[in-house]
Structure 1
């Protein structure tokens, strides 16, 4: 009898060690199961990120990872969708199955989300949108959205160009331009295209030769810019809807034997204003960068704390943003930048 009892105790102890080992293993990764966490007081957040297509996106991801830590009272389950909506939908369903407390999504595109959001709502899990927006018939499917004012960003870029051309005495000349658009259907693409078009409509001498997506990547931006340069002999301005596509455009322009920047043949306006964009402006290759602040983590954490306290939050929450160009002391400004 004693031997039987001893055997049972040993087996129980071994099982306990195995369970503890599995739990610790899950806690060490970015994508642990919420149900595995031994810290019941932690707020579990599932974040469905677009991907890692740009420097901006990398900074955005780091903002969430550095904010939603165990030291700050959170368990973060992170998923990189690699720019595919179907991957994000799978991630959201996985978050629901794991019973997370909150879901944060930076949607690849604006449409096609209603079904999975209804599933989250049915389980009582609040959804917060970051960076990009969703087009849904029922806005109660998500709590709020945090991000940049993309239409204003586009308009700011257009108004900067108006002032720049006036300073150069070119405001009455015919200006030919092309646009490297972001991923078609993404909120940043939709808003920046619309915003710049609003200013374009006010300038009869501006000719938009063509708009084509560069998918927010440097490689695709370079590829599209190469095709533009072969197709059009006289491009005066390039609108790149993010910095990485602007870097690709710069490479293509130089490879074609042309110049760009304040002293070059082609003026380039970019969006995001990551540190590499400051480097490009300082080097004289880029004229202007309209900021899109990627540091959403602290703002989302603030929203979650308000929801935890039973407070209401504003549906639309814009982050602070600026515009930078080569007339500024960029070397000093970049020292203060976190991205």
Structure 2
């Protein structure tokens, strides 16, 4: 029997520890994720993390999912502390609310790696590393994509834009919005960002937000969404309303966004692999446990993708 045991659960806050988990030389790494069922990125991330852990004979992983519930995630961190894992990886449901639990892990001598979406800055003293994308840079690059397209169209001095952000309080949503909002006036100072509303990382919710925007504003030239899942929801609303010519830009390229780009209806996004994300988080935890130097902000690159260069990228699997 393989000495490595992988335990997975969708929403559990505790895990029964069997005899196979008592091998001292193994690295016991626990992860509590944000909400695997909310979108295909997180689902693919989980599968990639499990595969990477199974491929390493020195790793035994306890894989938990908070189901989007802050209280459940805090309980999961406390459970992992009680189990005495060697390292904890957390994908925060809320960047501020999880700080006390992360502090408890740090006080217990357990290194914490934050994955994908960072915790609030006041919690930085309690983590060893953040592994994931630079979300501010992603938002900034999305602004550049949109501005460049407006310049090509000759409307950079009159264009009107709306934004569909992610889940309120979620660090990724905050950072991607901030990157976009800070960069857009630098590159296209006359573009008018008229309004921002949250889409909660949900396509149906984002379609409803866009329907309201379309009712409220007769003139919309561009839509920026925190990811393509929301962006395609907005695109669906525009299609249904017969509003053509709007430039749609996202901040994480999903397969539905890639397909819409191929169809010519969606202009651009930021290419981010959930497989790279998951593997980077696990490797960061392993490197820390092996005593290697790890950057505090351990970013992986996320390049621009548009209709012009999409042939250079493989279609996302999520």
Q: What TM-score results when the alignment is normalised by the length of structure 1?
A: 0.84
After the TM superposition, which parts of structure 1 deviate over 3 Å for at least 4 consecutive aligned residues? 31-36
Q: Deviations over 1:289-330 (max 9, x none)?
A: 1123322232233323322322332111101211111112x3
Secondary structure of 1:321's aligned partner: coil
Separation in 1 of the partners of 2:107 and 2:70?
21
**Residues 1:80 and 2:65 are matched in the alignment:** yes
Separation in 1 of the partners of 2:29 and 2:259?
35
**Residues 1:266 and 2:249 are matched in the alignment:** no
**Residues 1:289 and 2:269 are matched in the alignment:** yes
Q: Structure 1 residue 268: deviation in Å?
A: 0.2
Does the aligned pair in 2 maintain the 1:43–1:74 contact within 8 Å? yes
Q: Deviations over 1:85-113 (max 9, x none)?
A: 11211111111122211110011221123
Q: Deviations over 1:137-166 (max 9, x none)?
A: 353311100111111111111112222122
The unaligned stretches of length 5 or more in structure 2 are 10-14
State the aligned residue count: 308
Pick the structure with greater CA Rg. Answer: 1
Does the aligned pair in 2 maintain the 1:293–1:320 contact within 8 Å? no
Q: Structure 1 residue 128: deviation in Å?
A: 0.5
Whose relative contact order is higher, 1 or 2, with alpha carbons under 8 Å and at least 6 apart? Answer: 2
Q: What TM-score results when the alignment is normalised by the length of structure 2?
A: 0.89
The unaligned stretches of length 5 or more in structure 1 are 1-23, 260-264
Provide closer, same or farther for how the CA distance between residues 231 and 85 of structure 1 changes in structure 2, counting only shifts above 3 A.
same
Separation in 1 of the partners of 2:164 and 2:225?
5
Alignment-derived partner of residue 304 in structure 1: 285
Alignment-derived partner of residue 33 in structure 1: 16
Alignment-derived partner of residue 8 in structure 1: none
Does the aligned pair in 1 maintain the 2:70–2:98 contact within 8 Å? no
Matches within 5 A, 1:18-57: 27=5, 29-31=7-9, 32-34=15-17, 36-38=19-21, 40=23, 41-52=25-36, 53-57=38-42
Secondary structure of 2:110's aligned partner: coil
Separation in 2 of the partners of 1:154 and 1:298?
23
Q: Structure 1 residue 220: deviation in Å?
A: 0.9
Secondary structure of 2:93's aligned partner: coil
Separation in 1 of the partners of 2:58 and 2:257?
34
Q: Out of 269, 292, 299, which is 1:318 matched to?
A: 299
Alignment-derived partner of residue 145 in structure 2: 160
Separation in 2 of the partners of 1:35 and 1:104?
21
